[in-house]
Amino acid sequence: MEKYVVVLAAGKGTRMKSKLYKVLHKVCGKTMVEHVVDAAQGVNPAEIVTIVGTGAGDVEKVLADKSKFAFQEKQLGTGDAVMTAREELGDKDGATLVVTGDTPLFTTDTFNELFKYHAKTFEELFEYHKSKGAVATVLTAHAENPFGYGRIIRDDQGNVLRIVEQKDGKPEELKVKEINTGVFCFDNKKLFEALKHVNNDNAQGEYYLTDVLEILRNSGERVGAYKMPDFSESLGVNDRIALAQATKTMQRRINEQHMRDGVSFIDPDTAYIDADVKIGNDTVIEGNVVIKGNTEIGSDCYITSGSRIVDSKIGNNITVTSSTVEEAEMDDNTDIGPNSHLRPKAIIRKGAHIGNFVEIKKAEIGENTKVGHLTYVGDATLGKDINIGCGTIFSNYDGVKKFHTNVGDHAFIGAGSTLIAPINVADHAFIAADTTVTKDVNKYDMAIGRGRQVNKPDYWHKLPLSQDKEWD
């Protein structure tokens, strides 16, 4: 049986109060619609068709290599939205899964084996649908507070009669706590045939996809329903409050998976990890840590509280102490912090040490080189076994252009030095403390660029304080 997926992503999401299209809001680093499509891909469908609306070009960009698209010109309801996929899918044999693009918590495991008691994947919905011989199957859940959800109305034998929307329900119908999750599985051809008979005679004046169930049942077809055990997966995001709830649920899910894979969390409730982050085993993550984007962290690392790592590659046995690392690389056996900052294109080679209050930008720090504290290194290449003294500045900008500095192996740069780019400091060269370097320094040479020290004899007795006995 061929499988198809229709993703409803045309809604503007006015309750989000945002210029951003609703389904493009992110949950743990990925847009909501990406989460949905990624889950749907797990059932190996022949085609995925995403329904988009006016101004949704960005949706197409996000899903460009994952989905085909159909355009809903006006927001006339879910039934009308699915109907826009008719040209692409209408004449095909098989089963079609319909899911909304604002339900990022559904997993492939919730729909893949739906014929089993504890359904966990998209595939389940297809299997359950197939095993029951139904032409339509709705995925349902029990909600203690069902307000706002469509209610599942069954007959005395438990068969699904129809789905009643909140605004159209009678008082006794609105007491029902079994709700529509917005996920359906249909016989593809019968779905599009039934959609021809859907009308908009309802409180919203819209064409409801849910009306298809009653149309099919009235024509003698079997309509099934599968009640999923975990209501939280079905959370639809319609405002910022629900977005935060979805993010919190996804955050817990991500962290728990990392823990199963051998990562330790000191306080998993406060550690935020994006969906695509990779972390090796025996790494320890403290609380109030943020790790985002396409970050990779190796094994045996320690990430302390207050650290933020974005789109970076972190090797093995690395310590990040309350520091920020963004679009940077740290090789094995390095450390940074506290309170330091690796900016984009910073590369820290094996064994190097980056200490307190250090900023590095577009610079490579060689093996076993030490940049202790209170230093800025920008647009530079540093060799191995270099010592950079406290308060050193790599002055790389003349107000118009950025220039590069090279420092050779085994060099020594004294505290308080300023290196005015472009310059080259050779291997085994020395720069005296508090020196401003404006010319190249040759191998084995020492550069001194500062005023000579002058000592004023008996200067103390020239000060008024010298007459104060308390200062004597």
Q: Domain ranges for the chain, please list them.
A: 3-234, 261-447
Q: Is the pLDDT of residue 463 over 80?
A: yes
State the chain's mean pLDDT as an integer.
91
- DSSP string across 257-314: HHHHTT-EES-TTT-EE-TT-EE-TT-EE-SS-EEESS-EE-SS-EE-TT-EEES-EE
d(CA 233, CA 222): 26
pLDDT, mean of residues 19-26: 93
d(CA 287, CA 181): 34
Looking at residue 160, its pLDDT comes to 84
d(CA 186, CA 216): 10
% of the chain surpassing 70 pLDDT: 95
Q: What is the pLDDT of residues 224-255, one digit of tens each?
A: 888 887 888 888 899 999 999 999 999 999 99
Pick 155 or 373 by higher pLDDT: 373
Q: What is the pLDDT of residues 402-433, one digit of tens each?
A: 999 999 999 999 999 999 999 999 999 999 99
Output the pTM of the full model.
0.88
* Fold equal for 3-234 and 261-447: no
Looking at residue 50, its pLDDT comes to 97
Looking at residue 430, its pLDDT comes to 97
Looking at residue 260, its pLDDT comes to 98
Kindly report the backbone phi and psi dihedral angles of residue 244, in degrees, each rounded to the nearest multiple of 5, phi listed first. Answer: -65, -40
Q: Is the pLDDT of residue 122 over 80?
A: no
The residues that bridge with 139 in the sheet, in sequence order, are 183, 226
Looking at residue 403, its pLDDT comes to 97
**Residue 468 pLDDT grade (very low, low, confident, very high; cuts 50, 70, 90):** confident
Pick 54 or 264 by higher pLDDT: 264
% of the chain surpassing 90 pLDDT: 70
Q: What is the pLDDT of residues 163-221, one digit of tens each?
A: 898 888 999 999 999 999 989 989 999 999 999 999 998 888 899 998 998 899 899 98
**Residue 319 pLDDT grade (very low, low, confident, very high; cuts 50, 70, 90):** very high
- Classify domain 261-447 at the CATH class level: mainly beta
Note the CATH architecture for domain 3-234.
Alpha-Beta Complex (3.90)
Q: Are 419 and 392 in contact (CB under 8 A)?
A: yes
pLDDT, mean of residues 273-290: 98
Annotated catalytic residue 258: no
Nearest by Cα to 40 from 106, 117, 86:
106
List 129, 258, 373, 404, catalytic entry: 373
Q: Is the pLDDT of residue 131 over 90?
A: no
Looking at residue 1, its pLDDT comes to 76
Looking at residue 116, its pLDDT comes to 34
pLDDT, mean of residues 2-30: 92
Q: Are 124 and 116 in contact (CB under 8 A)?
A: yes
Looking at residue 472, its pLDDT comes to 73
Q: Is the pLDDT of residue 13 over 50?
A: yes
**Residue 158 pLDDT grade (very low, low, confident, very high; cuts 50, 70, 90):** confident
